[in-house]
Chains A and B, each alone.
Chain A
Amino acid sequence: MKKLYMISPLALILCFMVGCQDKKALAELEAMKAEAAVEEQNKELVRNFFEELDKGNAEIISELYISDAVSYSPSGSTTPTSPEELVEMTKMFYDAFPDLAHSIKELIASGDKVIARVTARGTHKGEFYSIPATGNKIELSFIVIVRIENGKFVEQRQEIDMLGFMQQLGMKLKPKEKE
């Protein structure tokens, strides 16, 4: 009996230690679940964003981006675009390509960032940056990293195949004339 009394406190201490380990592991697991939930929400925001754009709702930009969000395209640009400018550019885009549709090929969410790999398709039916309507079907790919905080887009960096896009509108690359 005496020996049992001696061992029990020891057993209790060990159980506490094990219990604490479990709590730490549980807390870590809870944190990971919470992060995974935010990542899923963020992916849904990006999906919804492109869906709304394709419905002709350029104002989704004003809803989703914080007022001083910055957008860099190409990704290392030193002159970021504001949400207001993005709205204007988007309206111009959809005016020139009324059937513009985005197809999300892949969404990767990690922490506060979502990476979207997207293909955009449309028909050149209106003037676009002084290029008169060609009727050409365009298809271009882009990859964009969006940083999202509390359900709002705060920063994005994009690489888009502008060269391919321009060539599909009939533009040609020419070396500079020698002086």
Chain B
Amino acid sequence: MKKLFMVLPLVFLLCFTFGCQQGEEVAVGLTEEEAKAFGEKALEMWNEGNLDVVEEIISPEYVIYSDPHDPYENQTLDHDTYKKRILDTRTATPDIQFTSEDLIIKGDKLVNRWTMSGTNKQMGKQYSVTGLTIYHVVDGKLKGHWQNVDKLGLYQQLGFTLTPPKPPGATEEKK
């Protein structure tokens, strides 16, 4: 009887321990909270120019895997260069505002569909264009991105037009 009394509490304890296994993440990867936090911090960097955030959320070796027409495409950026890239944008468009339209997370990828608006200082023109970015998240920091931005729309809003290639030379024989 004594042994029963000794064993039973142990059994109950075990039941409770196994029963209370709640809130475990089964899938490895970003949580929604982490993704939202990244989003908010990123907006601070770009919209307010708060460059201290860079150390918090950006890897010291940030790879721009793909970003057509971006001056830093294919480069690996250290923190100083990453900050310069932000400053380049904010200098060209001092009132720039990024807005996230949709944020999707899966494993080590964070997808952001966004709009950027502001006034290009040099051209004195307002613009608003969209972009789609896939971020690579490693060890809790943004490690790099693949991105497509409506650059054609941007240039058109700044007053540029696309002109066709020169017509075939004067060697055309039309009779």
Contact = CB atoms under 8 A, between A and B. Distances in A.
Interface of A: 3-4, 7, 10-11, 14-15, 17-18, 21-22, 25, 29, 32, 74-76, 105-106, 108-111, 113, 115, 117, 130-132, 134, 141-145, 157-164, 166, 169-176
Given A17-B19, A163-B68, A106 B153 contact: no
B11 A3 contact: no
Contact of A109 (B19, B106, B131, B132): B106
6 contacts: A4-B4, A143-B132, A157-B102, A170-B165, A172-B162, A176-B161
Contacts of B27: 32
Given A74-B153, A145-B113, A164 B68 contact: yes
Given A108-B104, A115-B111, A163-B69, A74 B160 contact: no
Given A145-B111, A159-B148, A159-B150, A14 B164 contact: no
B151 A75 contact: no
A173 B155 contact: yes
Interface of B: 1, 4-5, 8, 11-12, 15-16, 18-22, 26-27, 66, 68-69, 101-102, 104-107, 109, 111, 113, 115, 128-134, 146-153, 155, 159-165, 168
B15 A110 contact: no
A74 B151 CA distance: 10
Given A14-B16, A131-B165, A160-B148, A145 B104 contact: yes
A163 B155 contact: yes
Given A3-B1, A4-B4, A106-B134, 9 more contacts: A14-B12, A21-B20, A25-B22, A108-B104, A117-B134, A160-B148, A163-B68, A163-B69, A166-B152
A25 B15 contact: no
A75 B134 contact: no
A21 B19 contact: yes
Given A14-B15, A15-B15, A159 B165 contact: no
Contacts, number: 141
Contacts of A117: 66, 134, 146
Nearest to B115: A76
Nearest to B11: A11
B151 A163 contact: yes
A22 to B, nearest CB: 8
Contacts of B1: 3
Query: Which residue among B16, B20, B69, B164 has the maximum number of chain A CB atoms within 10 Å of its CB?
Result: B164
Contacts of B130: 74-76, 159
5 smallest beta-carbon distances between A and B, as pairs: A170-B165, A76-B130, A159-B148, A74-B150, A163-B152
B163 A174 contact: yes
Contact of B162 (A32, A109, A173): A173
Given A142-B148, A175-B160, A113 B26 contact: no
B11 A145 contact: no
* Residue picked from A17, A109, A172, most chain B C-beta under 10 Å: A172
Contacts of B102: 145, 157
A52 to B, nearest CB: 23
A163 B150 CA distance: 8
A113 B134 CA distance: 14
Given A15-B15, A115-B111, A143-B134, A164 B69 contact: yes
